[in-house]
Chain A
Amino acid sequence: MSETKKTTIVLFSGDYDKAMAAYIIANGAAAYDHEVTIFHTFWGLNALRKEEPIAVKKGFLENMFSKMMPRGADKMGLSKMNFAGMGPQMIKQVMKKHNAMTLPQLIELAQEQDIKLVACTMTMDLLGLKQEELLDGIEYAGVAAYLADAQEGNVNLFI
């Protein structure tokens, strides 16, 4: 094998299905021995939220945002056929039947495979998310850090 190839994915979406696609590709790329980065921005940051409520001081609007957004990957909705939360329940049942991995499992696998999970700090500020509310072992960066990876990327996706 020649030098290590790179895959970068921007996860902008906060939809369960889209995040699943992103994480499946990321884990697949890691199996291809790629160096993989998932850059989470805007709604994609919700995939990195811890499930339990964390007490942090925030402004009124930021507080509203945190209350309205899904707390963690498992709480995210579907991009299609969400049916006010029924859709995710149904798809999780079907996934179980087909032995497909759930999004939280895929995220755990990504961390095991040393995939670099990055949270965009600028959008964290916009949505009022604090580091304490996000998973441990992730990195914090901005557009320049993403571009540094992406310009050497063999696969670059925006989901």
Chain B
Amino acid sequence: MNIANVLDAKGLACPMPVVRARKTIKEMETGEILEIQTTDKGSVADMSAWAKSGGHEMVDQKEEAGVFTFWIKKG
């Protein structure tokens, strides 16, 4: 996977992960992949809902040692 940008949103509480994600993805090109790391449990549901609404594609996600990682392709 070709990751164009990594956003470290670890330790941030709602609503910051989506606020930062939107800011970051805005400056990216369509088709590029953004990796986002979070620790907020709500971000699992938040990120997929946010990606879908924005027309982006959730390529993959995982949880490891309390850190959630998402790969979102800009639509």
Contact = CB atoms under 8 A, between A and B. Distances in A.
B19 A113 contact: yes
A31 B55 contact: no
B12 A31 contact: no
A30 interface: yes
Interface residues of B, number: 15
Contacts of B53: 32
A114 interface: no
B19 A27 contact: yes
B54 interface: yes
A33 B54 contact: yes
A27 B54 contact: no
Which of B14, B15, B50, B75 has the most CB atoms of chain A within a 10 A radius of its CB? Answer: B15
Contacts of B12: 99
A31 B15 contact: yes
Contacts, number: 36
Which of A1, A31, A101 has the most CB atoms of chain B within a 10 A radius of its CB? Answer: A31
B28 interface: no
Interface in A114-154: none
B62 interface: no
A32 B13 contact: no
Contact of B54 (A1, A98, A99): A1
B13 A101 contact: yes
B13 A31 contact: no
Which of B11, B14, B55 has the most CB atoms of chain A within a 10 A radius of its CB? Answer: B14
Interface of B: 11-16, 18-19, 21-22, 50, 53-55, 75
Interface of A: 1, 24, 27-28, 30-33, 98-101, 109, 113
